[in-house]
Structure 1
Amino acid sequence: MSESVPTRSNLAPGGGVPPTEHNHPDSAPSAPAVVLVKSWKAPIAFGIFALVSIILFVVFGRDGDSTFRLSTDVDLIQLPAVVLPTRPTGVVVAVLLVLLAVYSAWLVASSRKVRLWVMAVFAVIFLIGFLTWASAGQTIPIPGLLIGTVSLSVPLIFGALGGVISERVGVVNVAIEGQLLAGAFVSAVVASVTGNPYVGLVGAVIAGTLVSFVLAAFSIKYLVDQVIVGVVLNVLVTGLTSFLYSQVLTADPTLLNSPPRFQAVPIPLLSEIPIIGPTLFRQTLIVYLMYIAVAVVFFALFKTKWGLRVRAVGEHPQAADTVGIKVNLTRFWNVSLAGAIAGLGGAYFTLGSVGSFQKEMTAGAGYIALAAVIFGRWDPIRATLAALLFGFATNMQYVLGVIGSPVPSEFLLMLPYVVTIFAVAGLVGRVRGPAAAGKPYVSA
């Protein structure tokens, strides 16, 4: 190891070596060394899943072949189906998962961090093994699985974007469920009466905004607890839409609950890309609006003055007020914007998916969107990926049920919620949201 050579810049006045902790009794102690805390969370989780894979894929392995179809019948480029022998594939997957679990344990023991790519590779390998085991002797349509994932994720992504904006500005938005449901109801009625889905889309935006107005008014102006207001709004909108559905919509469903739906609009060339094309580029207008919304919210939140003001108000409202930002006004209008975005997600239920309004049709999507906000660490891109994960878990439940998987139906029904709990509690763990979220601000 080389020694440091004293130079004029590091000599003490008079030419000597400057005093240090070792040669001067009155010198200040050096800064304490940073202690790296080892987290065994990832290795333990990997070990549990590796053990499950051994039990499921090896001990209770299934015979036969599992087929993965990669193209739809209308694809211009037809990819051959992938056929995997079920039991050998399960053994290989189990071995790989054990090796990754050991590797992650070695990383932690060596005071190194388990990188995100290790978790992603582990998750993909386990998923391949599980689908292979569950589809023994059957065929899984991969494009259908992915298309369904995107479709089920659209309301979650819109809701998560609204949640990110609202919480970034300092207001906890538990009312996403109510905003989605209000958007679904109003879009169905308006589009049915006018015969125009575009007008219904505008109605959904207005409905989501109105629900947010109530949330903003009570939580910002009257300083009511934001979580309580959100829960009350969810109950209020659920009860109101259920009553109107039973008493009004069912009386004349042809006039009030038969909205025209947006048709899929394939994008030339892009829609012909194998797997990706049918999944992303043969969608309806609302899905394309979702792509734009994710990009715009991410860019605006982190690259514009508006985003800087929003984040400042959510992190340190006193400092923002000091530099002239009107904290409560900023919160009010951005919570309203969040509701408008969530309202678009509600419109997807009636104008892009189901085609009519049904009682409580959001089925807790707003709460899963809120979980995606936390799982995504209040970042639009990460929250979108989290919403896609929950959508994938939900659609996998349907696909496995159709092919006659041996997985119990009760487990399939709870699969999306198990993934939600595991993702938020197991993968995210302890995270810090915007510092002022949930805290009302009263100007001095």
Structure 2
Amino acid sequence: MDSYALLIAATLNAGTILALAALGLLINEKAGVVNLGAEGIMLCAALAGFVTVVHTGSDWLGFAAGMAAGALMAAVLGVLVIWLNTNQYAAGLALSLFGGGFSAFAGIKYVQEKLPERPHFSIPVLGDIPVLGPALFRQHPLVYVAIALAVFLVWFLWRSRLGLVLRSVGESPESAHALGYRVRWIRFAAVVAGGSLCGLAGAYLIVVYTPLWVEGMVAGRGWIALALTTFATWRPARVLLGAYLFGGVTMLQFHLQGVGVEVATQFLAMLPYIATIAVLALISRNPAWIRANMPASLGRPFYPGS
């Protein structure tokens, strides 16, 4: 039973990275902007968080540095695609490639660095419950922040005035502009907010999940987070569930190895990516369903004078 509690705990830990990044990308896409630069943003944010913790010893400053790096890179993307009207897909891919190259170059001297001893967290009383305590109540605070963020976004997007404005900008920016809303600034704010969450995901990856720096350590999680938004049909609660699903698939490989299952390690390592491809293939069989849930102006530039 203890092994299953550890599997659940590891699933929550791994899924939090995907949840934070995917919720950030969801905010971007609800405003009508596609951010294909998530992988590069997470890499640079991870490096920024790692360097900050190495030099200050503060995890929370590391998270702040990761969010700042993510927001800065997203702001650059926002200027390119919102004001200069560059192609969103090309600009996002360029940002992803830049982030991968820059983080590899700037992180060379930090490959051998180690972070201070990692703290352990436990909710009083609840953390001592057999099985459930180790599985659910001994997580890093950001695990619970990710869950609370998903709940908040459900309320924000469908119950608050600002959320309705954000959705209107993603559905029909021309109509929102005609009503007097500053479409470009709203999209820019959404892109920066989403980028900061991707940055937080990158910082969480390196400060909590794998506390060391290795080139390319995000290992495709940015792309999985991007796929999650489609998998979840742009719904925050489904994003959260999908993140834990993919986190569970990721950790299953280690669990199977731990219990002695005779499966090639290369196949087990492929599981998260096979699951991503399979899910997207199943969803793409019903394009009408995707169109019904996808923001109508996703990926389309907006020209205020038109």
Shorter-chain TM-score tier = over 0.9
Paired residue type of 1:233: L
Q: Does 1:395 align with 2:257?
A: no
Relative distance call for 1:356 and 1:413 in structure 2 (3 A) is: closer
Q: Return the alpha-carbon distance in structure 1 between the equivalents of residues 85 and 106 of structure 2.
A: 31
**Structure 2 match to 1:218:** 80
Deviation at 1:425, TM superposition (A): 1.4
Q: Return the alpha-carbon distance in structure 1 between the equivalents of residues 116 and 147 of structure 2.
A: 22
Q: Return the alpha-carbon distance in structure 2 between the equivalents of residues 178 and 435 of structure 1.
A: 26
Contact 2:44 2:102 (C-alpha < 8 Å) held by counterparts: no
The higher-RCO structure (CA 8 Å, 6+ apart) is 2
Contact 1:259 1:350 (C-alpha < 8 Å) held by counterparts: no
Q: Return the alpha-carbon distance in structure 2 between the equivalents of residues 349 and 410 of structure 1.
A: 22
How many corresponding residue pairs? Answer: 300
SS of equivalent residue, structure 2 residue 246:
helix
The 5 Å alignment of 1:92-241 reads: 141-241=3-103
Relative distance call for 1:316 and 1:372 in structure 2 (3 A) is: same
Relative distance call for 1:436 and 1:210 in structure 2 (3 A) is: same
Q: Return the alpha-carbon distance in structure 2 between the equivalents of residues 163 and 393 of structure 1.
A: 21
Q: 1:259 aligns with which of 106, 115, 118?
A: 115
Paired residue type of 2:261: S
Q: Return the alpha-carbon distance in structure 1 between the equivalents of residues 183 and 110 of structure 2.
A: 41
Contact 2:147 2:240 (C-alpha < 8 Å) held by counterparts: no
> Percent of pairs identical after alignment?
34
Q: Return the alpha-carbon distance in structure 1 between the equivalents of residues 206 and 123 of structure 2.
A: 23
Q: Return the alpha-carbon distance in structure 1 between the equivalents of residues 283 and 141 of structure 2.
A: 33
Deviation at 1:304, TM superposition (A): 0.8
RMSD (Å), alpha carbons: 1.6
Deviation at 1:399, TM superposition (A): 1.2
Q: Does 1:279 align with 2:141?
A: no
Q: Return the alpha-carbon distance in structure 1 between the equivalents of residues 180 and 136 of structure 2.
A: 43
Deviation at 1:264, TM superposition (A): 2.9
Deviation at 1:318, TM superposition (A): 0.8
Paired residue type of 1:149: T
Q: Does 1:373 align with 2:229?
A: yes
Paired residue type of 1:348: Y
Q: 1:385 aligns with which of 241, 244, 247?
A: 241
Q: Does 1:363 align with 2:230?
A: no
SS of equivalent residue, structure 1 residue 198:
helix
**Structure 1 match to 2:194:** 338
SS of equivalent residue, structure 2 residue 107:
helix
Q: Does 1:442 align with 2:303?
A: yes
Q: Return the alpha-carbon distance in structure 2 between the equivalents of residues 194 and 287 of structure 1.
A: 23
SS of equivalent residue, structure 2 residue 93:
helix
Deviation at 1:357, TM superposition (A): 1.8
Q: C-alpha offsets along residues 184-212 of structure 1, whole Å, 9 cap, x if unaligned?
A: 11011112111211111111110010110
Relative distance call for 1:402 and 1:336 in structure 2 (3 A) is: same
More helix by share: 2
Contact 1:219 1:229 (C-alpha < 8 Å) held by counterparts: yes
Larger radius of gyration: 1
Unaligned 5+ residue runs, structure 2?
none
What is the TM-score of this pair, normalised by structure 1?
A: 0.65
What is the TM-score of this pair, normalised by structure 2?
A: 0.93
Deviation at 1:413, TM superposition (A): 2.0
Contact 1:265 1:283 (C-alpha < 8 Å) held by counterparts: yes
